[in-house]
Amino acid sequence: MSGPALPVLFDPSYSFDWPGHVFPTDKYRRTAEELVRRGVVAADGLLRPRPASREELLRVHERRYLDLLDAIADGRAPWDPRMEVPVSRTVVDAFTLSAGGTLQAAALALERGAAVNLGGGFHHAYPDHGEGFCLLHDAAVAVEALRAEGRLRRALFVDLDVHQGNGTVACFRDDPEVYTFSVHEEDNYPWPKEEGSLDVGLDSGTGDRGYLEALDGALERVAAEFPRPDLLVYVAGADPFEEDRLGRLRVTREGMRRRDARVLRFATEQGAPVVGLLAGGYALRTDDVVGIHADMAEALARWLAAGRVVPSAP
């Protein structure tokens, strides 16, 4: 690939241990390895993030909640079952680091046109609690930090995870400068859904054709309602995939690649830089999850290298 190289944020400690949990956290490390194998990034070209600071987290999360996470992590408070996932110091540190990674990726996307964090997309985290395997809302932390620094005004979330990004809506409720667009499976967690800027809830079993048609139609509406954002935050969940265990939208690998291409074509039309985030993915074979995430990052790298014009459609 000639042209500018895609900044790729990653840290090995994104992959922590949740024994027996459906969330395959080793997908982060394996996606990084896959991108090196494909030549998208050099092994020594991966950028190591710094953790989000307490001040950065506090722009999104309530102090009481952050204190509770720390207390649980340090064994001073009992675990809260609403968190759904084991909470330890390692886990809290991993989420904090991932928020820093998304923040740095978003900042680099503003500077260079695109970047990816091989983590993040924790769109079910609320200001005052965590749920849906998400403890800290990395992307909200990133947007708020960049706004506080005066580097960003209007942000567009394109959330194509199979689950609606309820936490994102909660973080930016009534905020006219952040548009939350989601295409998800209607009959799936979360219940109830939050009311975002534009929600497209699809039937289970929709498949490639219906999925891509719905995405195309919705992107036209996004363009009309929130044109030319300063940053497109792409929450590129891998769980619309046909073999996912927690989603039933039945989109093929090829359909997932076409989805990414449509988002990038839209970003070109809107002149928007893109930060890519991984979000969910629970396929029977973790290889598929890794492949879908790597396809997204590679598409983003090609898009950037080609001068932010979508290369020949896959």
Catalytically active residues, by annotation: 124
Q: Which residue number places its CB atom closest to Zn ion?
A: 280
The residue among 120 and 280 lying less far from Zn ion, judged by its C-beta, is 280
By CB under 5 A, residue 123 contacts Zn ion:
no
Q: Choose, by CB under 5 A, the member of 61, 163, 262, 308 that binds Zn ion.
A: 163
Per-position b or e across 130-149, b if 16+ CB within 10 A of its CB: bbbbbbbbbbbbbbbbbbee
Q: C-beta of 127: minimal distance to Zn ion in Å?
A: 20
Interacting positions 15-44 with Zn ion (CB under 5 A): none
In the complex, least distance from residue 164 CB atom to Zn ion, rounded to whole angstroms = 9
Residue 244 lies near Zn ion (rule: CB under 5 A):
no
Establish if 280 lies at the interface with Zn ion (CB under 5 A): yes
CB 276 within 8 A of CB 8: no
Q: Which two tokens stand for residue 94?
A: 């991993």
How many residues at the interface with Zn ion, by CB under 5 A? 5
Cβ-based nearer residue to Zn ion, 276 or 280: 280
Which tokens hold the place of 173?
Answer: 């409720």
Helices (H), 12-88: 27-38, 54-58, 63-73
Among 101, 113, 130, 237, binds Zn ion (CB under 5 A): 237
Residues 183-222 that bind Zn ion (CB under 5 A): none
Helix, strand and coil in the chain, % to nearest 5: 45, 15, 45
Burial code of 283-307, b = ≥16 C-beta within 10 A, e = fewer?
Answer: beeeebbbbbbbbbbbbbbbbbbbe
Site string for Zn ion, 138-157 (x = CB under 5 A): --------------------
Residue whose CB is less far from Zn ion, 181 or 226: 181
With CB under 5 A as the contact rule, the residue among 11, 34, 161, 230 that binds Zn ion is 161
Considering only the stretches 76-84, 104-112, 194-202, 273-281, report the one whose residues sit in contact with Zn ion under the rule CB under 5 A: 273-281
Dihedral of the CA atoms 31, 261, 210, 156 (nearest 10)? Answer: 90
* Residue 253 burial (10 A CB sphere; 0-12, 13-18, 19+): middle
In this structure, are residues 185 and 249 in contact, taking their beta carbons and an 8 Å threshold? yes
> Which residues of this chain interact with Zn ion, rule CB under 5 A?
161, 163, 237, 239, 280
